[in-house]
A and B are shown apart, each in its own frame.
Chain A
Amino acid sequence: MDILITGVGGQGTILASKILAYAYVIEGRNARTGETIGMSQRGGCVVSHVRAGNAHSPYIPVGGADLLLSFELCEGARRISYLKKDGFAIVNTASIIPVSTALGMADYDAEKITKYISENSNAIFIDADKLARECGSFRAVNTVLIGAACGLGVLGLSKDSIVQSIKKNIKAKYLDLNIKAFHSGMKTTEEMKEKCKVI
């Protein structure tokens, strides 16, 4: 199982990768992650790789990811080539406009980017920022997205293991908020799944 998590420095992708990797360990599997730590964390592009199983190197090759968890719209599109043909993308619709775009040096066309993602993957779009804010803080985007992946049933992990891992990796002070965010994300994709089954 290879999961690529992508976003903008400061959004909390590293914590998400830690929660997922530890959940696999709880279930008796080996996991490894590859992180972006350094200057990119100041608002640059960041990517975390989570690999459960027997891979030796930390980075998922292009065309190798089973799941793409994107914290930001454009960053999801940027890494879509990492997905396997039958892989899934869960994409936060919230966008963070880079300073280069504000300066008029590059275009950020959300509609075009969304279309590109849909055409190139099995993608689900959710407004994770909004769900996180509803749960108490925009910082909970990571647990919302993990919840969404869990609700979709694509992680190969039980809900209990993930919750246990969240408990281990998140400070007690923010725990309730994050558990709530996790359930909110999970509910969203479970409902989407129901609708699709009806169709």
Chain B
Amino acid sequence: MFAEHICLTANEKINDITRRVNDLKEILLGNTAIALGAVTAGVRVAAGYPGTPSTEVLEGVAKYNTDGKISVEWSTNEKAALEVAAGASWSGVRAIVTMKQVGLNVASDPLMSLGVIGTKGGMVIVVADDPGPISSQTEQDTRHFGKFANIPVLDPSSPEEAYEMTKYAFELSEKLHLPIILRPTTKVCHSSGTIEVDTEVYQYEPEGFVKDPKWVIFPPLSYRRHLEIEQQQKEISALFSQLPFNRIEGNGRIGIATGGATYAVVRDIVESCELDVTILKSGAVFPPPDQLYGEFLQRVEKVLVLEELDPVIEEQLYHIMAVRKIEKPIRGKLDGFVSPAGELRFENTLKIIEKFIGRKLKSVENESGMVFPQRPPVLCAGCPHRASFYAVKKAMRGKKSVFCGDIGCYTLGNGKPLEMTDTCLCMGAGITVAQGIKKAEPDTNVFAFIGDSTFFASGMTGLANAVYNGTKINVIVLDNSTTAMTGHQPHPGIGRTMMNTSSPKIDIFSVAKSLGAEFVEKVNPFEFDLAVKTVREASEKKGVSVVIFEAPCAALVKPDNVCAVEDCTGCKKCIREIGCPALTVRDRKVEINRALCNGCGLCTNVCDRIIRL
């Protein structure tokens, strides 16, 4: 049937000239483009904490750090990372710090003060937002943080622009003596573009740290700086009206104001439907380019604002209208014309534009009536967390228990059939939420699951709190020797840094002991009976207990054997109990998929018809 459609494309011979030009062109992920932009701008110190969708920025800096001149580190959390970068900047070197949006909540303390004190060497704070949200707890909008802290915000619309913006951000930071927030969203972070790579790296001699009272925040200094900074906002706004990242395109009487990744979607729609509109593209979004916004409002009859997350540009436009006494109808999120939540993709954005201009542009085919099986993400076959969860589940069967979860692969423990995650709030909250539940419900066995990386990021203070205030909770540390969820980054418990140098291993067992937990035990969750016994024992102690389940992430170890089923009865108990994705049903019998099976042997504890090969 397909033969008639085939038209063999005449493949042009690639000549040497294009090949030479293309040597400088790279397909780069948005995050990698930001990393390369920073390296090109001469960054010397880079710090961050992993978090989707930001992780590849710091990894990119490490990758391009071929001569080892850049100090790159995964810090224990975002607050630590931001402070490390601030110190480096105060010493005159260019510094970058990376995190996801919720990470900035953790780092908001230094952020607010840094907005007052300011910087010396160019400093860029990369904070990735996640409309949807796709891999985050919240749909928070980092542009607000810019306004809150009086820190300029750049919002790239594509990987290409992210590359240019990153380089510019360092210059701008040095010019203003302020840190700059670069706020890409998932569509920019995790998409790639064709980027013409610079070959020269910016060279400079850092002055070093010069002692000066201006680096010590005191109330009188804060007051003085506040006056200066508010004045400076006006100058930055004027500068931003001239910046090519902010611009007006087209001449139509209908105005569309947009920014960030949504700009690209709007351009695709405007071009494919040949719309006669005027686009306001906001790339340097805080402080708002008042002059440019005013010009745009004068030129159009009505405005549709298309932006993901919060109506930031929209509110800025209302503000300009009020100040400049302009009156134009604006549709957007504030009047409910555009949904307040979720992504703006081609399909839904097109529908909004059609509704705005009052005619149909392009019919988008709808999904069919066929229903497909859902495929939610699951713990890998052989994941040690499955064994840990199952051990705790078995140990506590029939006893009134609540299981508090945390952030990591193990959040997936909430899914069927394990159902071992009853709460999840934010990084490190499992341990502390558990304490609140215990206080309210003293007769419940309350457990808190926390990963090794999360334990170092924000679990230790919570554990100290439990011991100090005498709240009997059972902490289960899921130690798989990596930060698995975000792609296997090292952490303080591993004995190796991101630069691949060795470091002292911080031992979770000793930490828990010295924080004063009454019962601390290490056990391999695949030594299943012992694991169950240990959990039981821990739960019976009067004081705070910590059980550390040690077994490496299955994605990092190669299996040396697999398991198989002999004479399966088809009862499906194995699937109902542990739900390993390698257990599949064929002709009403369970088979083990050898390509997936990790040979962990957990299933042999459920059924004796399963044997190790």
Contacts and interface: CB of A to CB of B under 8 A. Distances in A.
B562 to A, nearest CB: 14
B218 interface: no
A25 B25 contact: yes
B16 to A, nearest CB: 12
Interface string B405-418: 00001001001110
Interface in A47-102: 49, 55-59, 61-64, 74-75, 77-78, 80-81, 86, 88, 97-102
A122 B373 contact: no
Contacts, number: 204
Interface in B352-367: 364-367
B212 to A, nearest CB: 43
Contacts of A122: 1-2, 5
B146 interface: no
B375 A45 contact: yes
B158 A56 contact: yes
B611 interface: no
B27 A22 contact: yes
A115 to B, nearest CB: 10
A162 B221 CA distance: 61
Contacts of A36: 190
Given A62-B347, A81-B366, A32 B193 contact: yes
A35 interface: yes
B5 A8 contact: no
A74 B370 CA distance: 11
A107 B373 contact: yes
B222 interface: no
Contacts of B378: 42-44, 99
B323 interface: no
B379 interface: yes
Contacts of B373: 74, 98, 100-101, 105-108
B500 interface: no
B2 to A, nearest CB: 5
Question: How many B residues touch the partner, as a band?
Answer: 35 or more
Nearest to B367: A81
Contact of A33 (B191, B271, B379): B191
Contact of A28 (B6, B14, B267, B365): B14
A25 B374 contact: no
Contacts of B220: none
Contacts of A77: 370, 372
A179 B552 CA distance: 33
A44 B265 CA distance: 26
B374 A59 contact: no
A155 B190 CA distance: 23
Contact of B27 (A8, A25, A63): A25
A32 B192 CA distance: 5
Contacts of B267: 56-57
B384 to A, nearest CB: 14
Interface in A158-182: 158-161
Interface in B1-55: 1-3, 5-9, 11-12, 14, 18-19, 21-22, 25-27, 29, 52-53
B255 interface: no
A58 B268 contact: no
A44 B6 contact: no
27 contacts: A26-B22, A28-B21, A30-B193, A31-B27, A33-B192, A35-B190, A36-B190, A38-B190, A42-B409, A56-B267, A57-B268, A58-B264, A74-B372, A75-B375, A77-B372, A86-B5, A88-B5, A98-B373, A98-B374, A98-B375, A102-B585, A103-B575, A113-B372, A116-B368, A154-B6, A197-B3, A199-B3
Interface of A: 8-10, 18, 21-22, 25-28, 30-45, 49, 55-59, 61-64, 74-75, 77-78, 80-81, 86, 88, 97-108, 113, 116, 120, 122, 124, 138, 152-161, 193, 196-197, 199
Given A98-B374, A99-B378, 15 more contacts: A27-B12, A30-B193, A30-B194, A36-B190, A38-B52, A39-B377, A39-B412, A43-B377, A57-B267, A63-B365, A81-B365, A81-B368, A88-B2, A157-B11, A196-B1
**Nearest 8 pairs between A and B by C-beta?**
A58-B191, A38-B135, A158-B11, A196-B3, A106-B373, A44-B377, A57-B264, A61-B346
Interface of B: 1-3, 5-9, 11-12, 14, 18-19, 21-22, 25-27, 29, 52-53, 56, 134-135, 157-159, 187, 190-194, 261, 263-265, 267-268, 271, 345-347, 350, 364-368, 370, 372-380, 409, 412, 415-417, 485, 572, 575-576, 579, 581, 583-585, 595
